[in-house]
Amino acid sequence: MNYSSSKLFALLAILMLSFSVSAQNGKKFKVVLDPGHGGKDTGTNHKKNVEKDIVLAVALEVGKILEKQSDIEVFYTRKTDVFVPVKERSVLANNNNGNVFVSIHCNGVNTESASGTETYVMGLSKNKSNLDVAKTENSVIMMEDDYKTKYAGFDPKSPESIIGLTLIQEDYIHQSIDLASRVQDGFTNDLRRKNRGVKQGPFWVLHGAFMPSILIELGFVSNTEEGSYLSSSRGQKELASSIAQGIINYKAAYYGGSKNVVVTASDKAVAKDSSSSKSNVTVTRTSTKDTAKETSSISTKATVSSNKGIVFKVQIAAGSSILALKPQNFKGLRGVTSIRTNGTSRYYYGETSDYETAKENLRVAKSSGHTSAFIVAFKDGVSISVEEALK
């Protein structure tokens, strides 16, 4: 590689690290909702429970709730019963500079015994059930014309092909898990749905989105009781409200703003009606290392300077390339540090045990041009959620 090529490579690496599809730039928080399937692709169907119809109804309800928040903007990969190629879904999310990408689906198997909600983030999993879900969702690709060319020979039925997916989502894994945990906790704690947990799986629809991304499985249409709930107006509104609240909680933690959903008079009437009917689905509470617990209230003036081992940093970039820790590589910021794990380098600005100072560091980082920067927390060198650090 000659000198000019090396300079070009370095420049491209810096541009990729600085790429901000989740940047606010002083604008609204952008949520991209992706109702799975659609049109000729009906998804999984059992009796009168049709996945493509259920997920579209829930996504539209989520959008209605979020659009009432003055600081949130919503985009949809589809708003009607149309077929949208898998690859175009993440492209739409990227083109609209989304802050989060939320793909909504339903499960279905050849037995009525399975039930419950689960939320996925992008990742390689050796767990057979996780791989089976991923293969089912990825198989939609085969409905597209010339899919082998469009997806570079990708075979949804091949384990080798699935594992070969490029893990672009590695850069956003911590935020994706946090968002997934908030949504999953809402299903479990508020709606009392059976909790199948937060999981990782190699989903094509997630791997191309340059932002925190999750794939929600609302439940099993193959389960008679749960299928009826998923197809009901009450069930769809409850699930949508829970998803919207999870997104709003995530936004408040990373971008600020209220955690309270804007509720209209009609919403209150629906909520009152819904509360009169109790779900009979059995609750299974699962505690996993990946599940971040939401605290009931967090003071914006909280400080943890007295908590030994707690450190707040501002993550400004991440990527596979290793950059010299020079100010010119980070838009003039000095004192940048990095941590490299599993082939990914994460770059941080500032280090403090005081949350208020961390927020000031975040302001400095964003004003310098790192508009997708966010606060992260560590305890004794181990990454933890900001909420856990503030307890």
Tens digits of residue pLDDT in 296-309: 222 223 333 345 68
pLDDT classification of 340: cutoffs 50, 70, 90: confident
What's the mean pLDDT when you consider all of the chain? 75
Write out the two tokens for 371: 């508009």
182: number of Cβ within 10 Å = 28
Nearest to 390 by CA among 305, 291, 289: 305
Beta bridge pairs of residue 318: 346
Integer Cα distance of 273 and 278 in angstroms: 11
CATH (one of 3.30.70.1070, 3.30.70.2390, 3.40.640.10, 3.30.465.10) for 310-389? 3.30.70.1070
Integer Cα distance of 195 and 42 in angstroms: 25
Could you read off the pLDDT of 146-178 as tens digits, one per residue? 544 444 444 445 544 444 444 444 567 788 888
pLDDT classification of 227: cutoffs 50, 70, 90: very high
Residue 76 CA: distances (Å) to CA of 24, 66, 139, 262, 306: 18, 12, 22, 20, 45
Q: Between 241 and 346, whose confidence is greater?
A: 241
pLDDT at 207: 75
**At residue 320, does pLDDT exceed 80?**
no
Write out the two tokens for 74: 């919503």
Residue 128's contacts (CB-CB under 8 Å, 6 or more residues apart) are: none
**At residue 60, does pLDDT exceed 90?**
yes
Integer Cα distance of 114 and 390 in angstroms: 37
**At residue 59, does pLDDT exceed 90?**
yes
Across 21-30, 174-183, 367-376, which has the greatest mean pLDDT? 174-183
Could you read off the pLDDT of 276-289 as tens digits, one per residue? 333 333 222 233 33
pLDDT at 131: 46
Integer Cα distance of 386 and 134 in angstroms: 30
pLDDT classification of 262: cutoffs 50, 70, 90: low
**At residue 374, does pLDDT exceed 60?**
yes
Nearest to 14 by CA among 263, 237, 277, 331: 331
Entry pTM? 0.60
pLDDT at 140: 52
Strand boundaries in the chain, DSSP class E: 29-35, 45-46, 49-50, 72-76, 100-107, 117-122, 195-201, 213-220, 310-319, 337-341, 344-352, 374-379, 382-384
pLDDT at 9: 44
Query: Domain extents for the chain?
Result: 29-253, 310-389
Write out the two tokens for 315: 């993550």
Integer Cα distance of 350 and 363 in angstroms: 11
pLDDT classification of 132: cutoffs 50, 70, 90: low
**Sign of the alpha-carbon torsion through 107, 75, 138, 346:** negative
For residues 58-67, average pLDDT:
97
Tokens 């000019």 correspond to 4
Tokens 């609750």 correspond to 283
CB 42 within 8 A of CB 49: no
For residues 371-375, average pLDDT:
77
For residues 197-208, average pLDDT:
81
Could you read off the pLDDT of 85-96 as tens digits, one per residue? 888 888 899 889
Nearest to 98 by CA among 145, 17, 31: 31
pLDDT at 290: 33
Write out the two tokens for 353: 């045990």
For residues 36-44, average pLDDT:
91
pLDDT at 372: 66
Integer Cα distance of 355 and 361 in angstroms: 10
Integer Cα distance of 80 and 77 in angstroms: 10
Across 66-80, 129-143, 152-166, which has the greatest mean pLDDT? 66-80
End-to-end CA distance of the chain: 51
Q: Between 47 and 194, whose confidence is greater?
A: 194
**At residue 105, does pLDDT exceed 80?**
yes
CB 213 within 8 A of CB 100: yes
Could you read off the pLDDT of 241-252 as tens digits, one per residue? 999 999 999 998
Least confident of 111-115, 138-142, 331-335: 138-142
Q: 29-253 has which fold?
A: Aminopeptidase (3.40.630)
